[in-house]
Structure 1
């Protein structure tokens, strides 16, 4: 079975407070985008996993897709499988690529082996794997809070808008990103801000990670400003990683403008 785990962007991100368990409570709108990995799962004589594309750090046994398989297999009869992951979504980039791979592994196993796992149980599995994972079970524009794994419907419609994502290849770990942030409630309710026209989001819809990470990596701010120079209605860093995105009214081809970096561009749905 072949599936295509997609990335997400964060439209606004407030770091509200540090939790007793060491995690942080956040407020953000997660929005799916079309930058995708390719994940193939087939029944096999023995379990294996192999990777192509962007190099994935760490041991194979620690890969989040392996952990997803092991989690499901504890409660459901699964045969050995071969997992083949073609990695194209940058790592440590604020796009949730690893979380998407895990969530799509759960969904693919459920479908391939007709396990009948309920939607709520799939969410539960995903929440145990990582803070962003559960979003990719939903995989639709969503207001996320708590650790990023609690959800509320939100009416943010960017259909037919054009998005350009620029990744300069800077790997920013979650630990590094949170080290420079002082948690505090957002100045305004993000849900209300996102009711404004996209062209009015600039200066209002903020990512709390930008202040310290832009100071540490000035290139990120330069990319954001260049996206505005190219006519973006709104531009921001996504999540805690180094990808900067711009939302446009009309189709753009900015591959030459950002030719030194990884660029994905396409229509939002």
Structure 2
């Protein structure tokens, strides 16, 4: 195994998001479909014998001690105290966009260091560690587009047909905590079977609330709806629409108003991380 790895830390979309209840501990019970993308951040890991974990690059102004990348690295049981790593982050996934950037970074760190430090932790063990860092981390560790239930950690791999997505990032930050604690959030949607999603019976329960609070999200959805079923991903702020091919998605991107940032990405069934790493044992 090389002492240095450069990996794409992929973004995700929630193709739908139903809130079907709330646990006694306050966590919401969800149904969603996590779609992995071939677009995201870039992380470089260089293992060393310093015994320290250092992070450089685009850290969004977050102190290193609070960054999910550093927390993920420190959560792993090292075989030797001298095992260290220098990590460099090139950030493209916007914060507060519902694209899973922090969770993806944490999962990519767990997978990379499991390999570089030769820890031989199983996928299940890494997912358990990841869940302590965030509810969306396990799906990135598992590395497959998946139907998710529970708090988002009960995963069933799904093979999705090829699709391309235009994603718009409105210039606003949506607080997940604010949305999930809001009194107007729908929390009693009936659970559905996977077949119902593929028949078109789904939505994002957060979308009406987010677009009522954030005018920029509402405007982006209104514009994108002329191309198809435009949706919020997660709690936002990013919105997306799917297309059957890359040319159609890029044609729509070419019409995007200048006040919005956007990108085109292809949906993936397997994480690009596993193109560079051996998949952890089950």
State if a TM-score over 0.5 links the two structures. yes
1:263 is matched with which residue?
Answer: 262
Equivalent of residue 96 in structure 1, options 91, 96, 100? 100
Query: 1:151-190 maps to which residues of 2 (within 5 A)?
Result: 151-155=155-159, 157-159=160-162, 161-180=163-182, 181-186=185-190, 189=192
2:272 is matched with which residue?
Answer: none
CA contact (8 A) 2:69 2:109 kept: yes
Equivalent of residue 30 in structure 1, options 31, 34, 41? 34
How much does 1:51 deviate?
1.9
- Structure 2 gap segments, 5+ residues each: 269-282
CA contact (8 A) 2:171 2:216 kept: no
1:110 is matched with which residue?
Answer: 114
CA contact (8 A) 2:11 2:40 kept: yes
How much does 1:221 deviate?
2.6
How much does 1:192 deviate?
2.3
CA RMSD of aligned residues (A): 1.8
Q: Helix, strand or coil: the match of 1:84?
A: strand
**In 2 relative to 1, CA 222–193 (structure 1 residues): closer, same or farther, beyond 3 Å?**
farther
Q: Helix, strand or coil: the match of 2:60?
A: coil
1:223 aligns with 2:223: no
Cα offsets for 1:152-206 (capped at 9, x unmatched)? 2345x231x22100001211121111133131133x615122222xxxx3xx421
Aligned mates of 2:61, 2:139 — CA distance in 1? 23
Aligned mates of 1:136, 1:258 — CA distance in 2? 32
Q: Helix, strand or coil: the match of 1:37?
A: strand
**In 2 relative to 1, CA 258–193 (structure 1 residues): closer, same or farther, beyond 3 Å?**
farther
Please identify runs of 4+ aligned residues in structure 1 that moved more than 4 A: none
How much does 1:213 deviate?
0.9
- Structure 1 gap segments, 5+ residues each: none
Equivalent of residue 50 in structure 1, options 46, 53, 56? 56
1:206 aligns with 2:203: yes
Scaled by the length of structure 2, the TM-score of the pair is 0.84
CA contact (8 A) 1:12 1:190 kept: no
Aligned mates of 1:49, 1:10 — CA distance in 2? 29
Scaled by the length of structure 1, the TM-score of the pair is 0.88
Equivalent of residue 238 in structure 2, options 225, 243, 267? 243
Equivalent of residue 80 in structure 2, options 71, 77, 80? 77
